[in-house]
Amino acid sequence: MSQIDQVRTAADIVKIVGDYVKLRKAGANYMGLCPFHQEKTPSFAVHPVKQIFHCFGCGVGGDVFKFVMLIENLPFPEALRRVAEKVGVRLAETAGDETYDANTKLRAALLKIHEIAAKFFAAQLGGTTEGRLARAYLADRGMADEVVGGFRLGYAPGDGQGLVRHLTGAGFEAAGLDKSGLVLFDAERQRPYDRFRRRIIFPIANESGKVVAFAGRALGDEQPKYLNSPETAIYTKSRLLYHLDRAGQAIRKLDYAILVEGYMDCITVAASGVENVVASCGTSLTEGQIRLLARYSRRVVVNYDPDSAGMAATERSLALLLEGGFEAKVLALPAGLDPDAFIRKQGAAAYRGLLAKAPTYLDYLTERAIANHDIQTPEGKVAVANAIVPYVARVPNSMLRGDLANRLATRLGMTDRLVREELMRAAGVLKGELHQSRDLYISEANHAVKQLLRACLESEEIAGAVLPALVETGAARGLVGEGIFTRLWEAHQRGEQVDVTSAEVNLSEAERKLVYEALFWPADPKTTVVKKTELSPCTDEFLGEKARAMGQVCECPKCQAKRAASAMMPVESEEQPPIPDDKMVAADEGPTEALRTMGALRALGHLLALQLQRAQGERDKLLRDIEAAARAQDSVRLADLQRAKSNLDKELRKFGHP
């Protein structure tokens, strides 16, 4: 067994996906909100038996490796290692094999460098004279020893050589340390020196808790006040939230997150007992961070600083959060205090009290706008509405936008019609893409293809019975699943099994989407609505003894007429071909296999009917063209059309059509 198969066998996709997506049991599968696109109604499904996932909204799907690749933005070898770590499988790395990644060695080295650096900075905080001064500063800020240790805070010495000496002493070459972002070089690139000097250090960890970067706060008036690591092979600032590795479980449990600006704010809030808090790492909130947060919850309280810069950042963040389908509230602390200062002055209980009363973003923005305009005048009402409507228009759900418009109208004393007109105007400008609706109607052929494909993938017996009729008669010709059915039939003839969900199988995007939708398709034919067609081909003629052996009865008009005629005549029971014992479904075995067989044959019959309709339509067109060619006395075209009609008549006879 290959290393990939070992990891795949050991992995439980439900558990691994559940680390990123809140899943709920839905029948045999699990459902949740898709982490790869914005939605309010769950369309993301995980199949615990097949160990695959699929989103019926955006169409993305695959196995456990594909999920980790997409959710973590990793190449396959790195995703394999991430899954292996989660399931406790140790991988052997060999250059040139399928698990090897040229950048893996670099990432592993950078993670090791950052872990060594984190321990070095932490040791400096209490082990040197200037480090103890930094520790005294933190104590003045209310940082207890357990908080300092829990967040692994440290200190970067001021000589500029301490970390370089420590890392080179640990065996790392100075020339290779520049890729870590922790070491800089002089103009001649001869002398390395520390990036962080005379700064309190905040280690920044990824979701797995591994240190990937640092932030340094200056002591005194040195600028910039905060200095962050540059982006490296293990750190992308826009895709990471500070403290998420520790807060993730609390966010999922409470189903909301608190978003603050600074590292000190985040630490102080968490130390006060409010653990579901994260910070945006000294940068404006990004779409990548919003997608990351959405894996844990789509409810958030924005608690930025109440100064002008903080309010501007709040408004920018609200715009992105609303577009991401978040339910947002805003906590603006009184007296111009940031979360760190407020908790130190007023206490944790006061903070939790205000947090519980945090207003919705609409109420927050409305009251802010009202404070700047006189809503007793028509001009003031319009000004407030114009300030709020662009935010409301960013809400993806149209029904929710309407409800928010009503609330805004009530608050301003304006008629719903006026506000709605302005809302719809703004929505047309800002969210034109909202009007691009997906086609909600799947063709009849796709319904039948999915039902039939699922049955063939799950039962070798059904595959052996229906694939010859489907492939060799051309019944699947022109359908999106034609290539899949052909591969399954060829593999069946060779006595092989093909795992069409495997990434190694070369399928088009449309074919792969069809496979995943088929595997999640209802097995019970009663749950699948398929319209009856006037032209019903005889599945008995296609399958013969195979259909009767599986206990199925053809429902085409021809067979129904035969059975009606036979019912009027005495027929010896032994003349009816018995169903072999090994093909019967025992009462205590349940209806699963019988329903699957019934559904497969119904789907096959429906596909044949659709193909028959298509061929009949082509024949009718040929007859019209033949008449036109005869009237025009175009003998050459007439001969071509008659040959085409003759070939089509042969195809129709395959369907039992006279």
Q: Output the 3-class SS for 574-592.
A: HHCCCCCHHHCCCHHHCCH
Tell whether the model's pLDDT for residue 498 goes beyond 80.
Answer: no
Q: Which of 86-90, 283-287, 367-371, 595-599 has the lowest mean pLDDT?
A: 595-599
471 or 552, greater pLDDT: 471
pLDDT at 202: 97
Per-residue pLDDT of 453-480, as tens digits, reads 777 777 777 777 777 777 776 666 666 6
Residue range 53-82: mean pLDDT, rounded: 88
The closest alpha carbon to 368, from 304, 420, 312, belongs to 312
Separation between Cα atoms, residue 311 and residue 307, nearest integer Å: 6
Number of H helices, E strands in the chain: 27, 15
Backbone angles phi, psi at 49, to 5 degrees: -80, -50
Radius of gyration of the chain (CA): 33
pLDDT at 418: 64
Separation between Cα atoms, residue 543 and residue 553, nearest integer Å: 11
CB crowding 265-282: b at 16 or more within 10 Å, else e = bbbbbbbbebbbbbbbbb
Q: How confident is the model at residue 342 (pLDDT cuts 50, 70, 90)?
A: very high
* Percent of the chain residues topping a pLDDT of 90: 35
Helix (H/G/I), strand (E/B), else coil: 600: helix
CB 194 within 8 A of CB 156: yes
Tell whether the model's pLDDT for residue 554 goes beyond 60.
Answer: no
Residue 156's CB is within 10 A of a number of other CB atoms, namely 28
103-235 fold? DNA primase DNAg catalytic core, N-terminal domain (3.90.980)
415 or 537, greater pLDDT: 415
pLDDT at 108: 86
Backbone angles phi, psi at 369, to 5 degrees: -70, -40
CB 154 within 8 A of CB 203: yes
- Looking at this protein, which amino acid is placed at residue 227? L
513 or 234, greater pLDDT: 234
Tell whether the model's pLDDT for residue 99 goes beyond 90.
Answer: no
Residue range 541-566: mean pLDDT, rounded: 51
Per-residue pLDDT of 220-247, as tens digits, reads 778 889 999 999 989 998 889 999 999 9
pLDDT at 606: 57
The closest alpha carbon to 413, from 374, 443, 456, 450, belongs to 374
Q: Of 97-106, 326-335, 389-398, 607-616, give the range with the top mean pLDDT.
A: 326-335
pLDDT at 600: 59
Q: Which of 55-69, 105-119, 195-209, 425-439 has the lowest mean pLDDT?
A: 425-439
Q: Which of 8-17, 97-106, 513-522 has the lowest mean pLDDT?
A: 97-106
pLDDT at 357: 96
Reported in sequence order, the residue ranges of 56-182 that DSSP labels E, i.e. its strands, are: 61-62, 154-156
pLDDT at 189: 73
CB 318 within 8 A of CB 310: no
Tell whether the model's pLDDT for residue 641 goes beyond 90.
Answer: no
The closest alpha carbon to 124, from 184, 211, 195, 201, belongs to 201
Q: Which of 12-16, 39-43, 572-576, 615-619 has the lowest mean pLDDT?
A: 572-576
Peptide bond into 224 cis (omega under 30): yes
Helix (H/G/I), strand (E/B), else coil: 63: coil
Would you state the structure tokens that stand for residue 451, as one six-digit string?
């039902």
630 or 513, greater pLDDT: 630
Query: Phi-psi region for residue 581, left (φ > 0), alpha (ψ -120 to 50) or beta?
Result: alpha
Q: Of 39-48, 218-227, 247-256, give the range with the top mean pLDDT.
A: 247-256
The reply to whether CATH 1.10.10 applies to domain 361-435 is no
Domain boundaries, the chain: 3-87, 103-235, 361-435, 444-623
pLDDT at 527: 39
Separation between Cα atoms, residue 599 and residue 592, nearest integer Å: 10
Residue range 150-166: mean pLDDT, rounded: 95
pLDDT at 461: 75
Separation between Cα atoms, residue 32 and residue 20, nearest integer Å: 10
- Looking at this protein, which amino acid is placed at residue 640? D
585 or 546, greater pLDDT: 546
Mean residue pLDDT across the chain: 79
306 or 507, greater pLDDT: 306
Q: How confident is the model at residue 550 (pLDDT cuts 50, 70, 90)?
A: very low
Tell whether the model's pLDDT for residue 11 goes beyond 50.
Answer: yes
Enter the pTM of the model.
0.64
Would you state the structure tokens that stand for residue 450, as one six-digit string?
């999915």
CB crowding 94-105: b at 16 or more within 10 Å, else e = eeeeebebeebe
Separation between Cα atoms, residue 402 and residue 390, nearest integer Å: 13
Residue listed under structure tokens 């960890």: 205
Q: Which CATH number fits domain 3-87: 3.40.50.620, 1.10.600.10, 3.40.50.970, 3.90.580.10?
A: 3.90.580.10
Tell whether the model's pLDDT for residue 304 goes beyond 90.
Answer: yes
Separation between Cα atoms, residue 62 and residue 55, nearest integer Å: 10
445 or 513, greater pLDDT: 513
